Amino acid sequence: RSRVVANVLSSLLARTESVLIMGHRFGDFDSFGAAIGIARFAMLCGVHPRIVVNRQDPNLAPCFEMLSKVEDYDDIFVGAIEGMDLIRPDTLLIVVDVNNVDHVECPDIVRNVNHIVFIDHHRKTVEFTKEPEIAYIEPSASSASELVAEILEQYMASKSLLKEEAELMLAGILLDTKQFTRNTGTRTFSAALYLRGEGAIPGESNDLFRADVGDLTKEARFHTNVNIYREKIAISHVDGTADASYRVVAAKAADKLLTVKGVSASITLVTIGDKVHVSARSDGSINVQLILEYVGGGGHYDVAGAQVEGTDITAVISRLREAIDEYLDK
């Protein structure tokens, strides 16, 4: 199927000179790596793309630093407002690592373009408001970076990727597979092998995940406030309002809680701005995706997230417990 998608996508790119690429809001290494891979695909098709992303997001700072000396990316990244200004009648928007319009970096761009492509590994939970040119949605894949790597391998000649591009895509796979320990199949290793052949060095991709002392201190706040619900689900939260860096810290804390003996799933919550951010992880025996869909979230069987607006952490925890009870009792 990736070969078919590659051929159709190249045909779409041949008919336009205006291409926007966008991932989900609060981007991570997977959405960023997938966007970079699609940008290279567009460049090889003779189109100069733009990636709509929040340049101020501290969690993506290592990615921007890695590409800071790559001339091809000097003017690739644009903000949401600039992205809106770039829309033309023939603009092709390629959305990666998300298929819910409400969760993309800039929903208004999706609503104003005529041609859309979705490449995602999350389960489709809402109907499209307009029919996409391509809807390549594969929940069986480990990551969006894996799907994009397969597309590139089918279409591009060997050694067409830059080392930095390959390493960012590998980082996306490492993130969503938890260093090849979750959601990992033969396709995943095949994609990683391809990226390694394109110059990716696993050690340098892994360097993107290094945390500073401040992050370790923040993560400790979750580990000192843990409750075990229904004897197998760890729920932890941070009191008060936190800064944006806690989004990634919460995800790391949820991963770490899975190492506790007897814990089959973990959920961490933190208030950032006017939203409660929820991260959930599972060892594979509990479907955290179904639990978080109860509060408007989504994701995968063992990795899910949500952003709940207009309420507080106590109310969200109460709703999550109701969802857990309903799920486990069935």
Element housing 37 (H / E): helix 29-44
Q: Which is nearest to 38 in space by CA: 83, 71, 6?
A: 6
Segment 187-229, tens digit of pLDDT: 999 999 999 999 999 999 999 988 788 888 999 999 999 999 9
Mean pLDDT (whole number) for 265-280 = 95
Question: Is 129 a residue whose pLDDT tops 90?
Answer: no
Task: Give Cα separations from 304 to 68, 140, 286, 293, 297 (angstroms).
Answer: 31, 15, 11, 9, 7
pLDDT tier at 124, thresholds 50, 70, 90? confident
Q: What is the pLDDT of residue 212?
A: 80
- CA-based angle 282:284:289, to the nearest 5? 60
Mean pLDDT (whole number) for 83-93 = 97
Q: What is the pLDDT of residue 77?
A: 98
Q: What is the pLDDT of residue 183?
A: 83
Q: Which is nearest to 257 in space by CA: 232, 274, 278?
A: 232
Q: What is the pLDDT of residue 281?
A: 94
Buried b (16+ CB within 10 A) or exposed e, 295-325: bebbbbbbbbbbbbeeeebeebbeebbebbe
User: 29-44 and 163-177 are packed helices; what angle lies between their axes, rounded to 10 degrees?
Assistant: 140
CB 254 within 8 A of CB 178: no
Distance of alpha carbon 291 from alpha carbon 257, whole angstroms: 17
pLDDT tier at 26, thresholds 50, 70, 90? confident
Mean pLDDT (whole number) for 71-92 = 96
Q: Which is nearest to 119 in space by CA: 107, 133, 129, 109?
A: 133
Q: Which is nearest to 300 in space by CA: 142, 89, 134, 103?
A: 142
Distance of alpha carbon 121 from alpha carbon 166, whole angstroms: 19
Element housing 279 (H / E): strand 275-282
Distance of alpha carbon 223 from alpha carbon 236, whole angstroms: 7
Distance of alpha carbon 285 from alpha carbon 288, whole angstroms: 9
Percent of the chain topping pLDDT 90: 78
Note the residue count of the chain. 330
pLDDT tier at 321, thresholds 50, 70, 90? very high
Distance of alpha carbon 158 from alpha carbon 111, whole angstroms: 37
Number of other CB atoms surrounding residue 226 within 10 Å: 16
Q: In whole numbers, what is the pLDDT of the chain averaged over residues?
A: 93
Mean pLDDT (whole number) for 305-321 = 94
Answer yes or no: pTM beyond 0.85.
no
Q: What is the pLDDT of residue 258?
A: 92
Segment 141-195, tens digit of pLDDT: 999 999 999 999 999 888 999 999 999 999 999 998 989 988 899 999 999 999 9
Question: Is 272 a residue whose pLDDT tops 90?
Answer: yes
Q: What is the pLDDT of residue 299?
A: 82
Mean pLDDT (whole number) for 67-77 = 94
Segment 283-310, tens digit of pLDDT: 989 999 999 999 998 888 888 899 999 8
Q: Which residues pair with 265 in a beta bridge?
A: 233, 282
Buried b (16+ CB within 10 A) or exposed e, 264-273: bbbbbbbbbe
Q: How far is CA 219 from the centre of its chain?
A: 21
Q: Which is nearest to 77 in space by CA: 244, 68, 156?
A: 68
Which distant-in-sequence residues (6+ apart) come within 8 Å of 61 by Cβ?
Answer: none
For the chain, the C-alpha Rg in angstroms (whole number) is 19
Distance of alpha carbon 248 from alpha carbon 329, whole angstroms: 31
